[in-house]
Amino acid sequence: MKPRLPRFFSSAIALSGVVFLSACATNGSKPTVKITNGKMFAVIADTTSFYRYGPQQGNGPDQELPRDTVMTLIRPSFGYSKVQLLAGAEGYVASEDIKPAPPTLLAALNAPPPSTHSGAGSERENFDIHSSEPPPPEDLPDPDLPPTSVEPPPEP
């Protein structure tokens, strides 16, 4: 008879496999803004203080956020509102320094990076030699067409 692992161990092994695979799935691209509940806000002041634990923490603000910094509003309040920055950090900012983010600012965050090539004919392909992705397919002639000859036909 084959020995069986207790249910706890088999569940733990399966869970660790899922965690490992999800950690390998990151692609390093910049995060995009997902507008799901309309709570995206932006800084309207030139700068505003960001407090990780609250405005009364003993060591002052943790960082200064520049104008047009986008964040998700977690809990509005009269003095300081709890927010989450796009990088993931949660903290507090002055409620008077933020307003709902304009659609143009959110669209600019989701826009693809500007193209660096000047025309379709001058486009260069860039390959990462350390990539595990397969190379792009080659442009091959249609197999149903007869082969074309580069040599000139013989003269009579």
**Tell me: the pLDDT tens digits for 47-94?**
999 999 998 988 999 999 999 999 999 999 889 999 999 999 999 999
pLDDT at 31: 45
Q: Residue 90: helix, strand or coil by DSSP?
A: strand
Is pLDDT above 50 for 155? yes
Average pLDDT for 28-33: 44
Is pLDDT above 50 for 97? yes
Is pLDDT above 60 for 8? no
* pTM: predicted TM-score of the whole model, two decimal places: 0.51
CA distance 104 to 71: 15
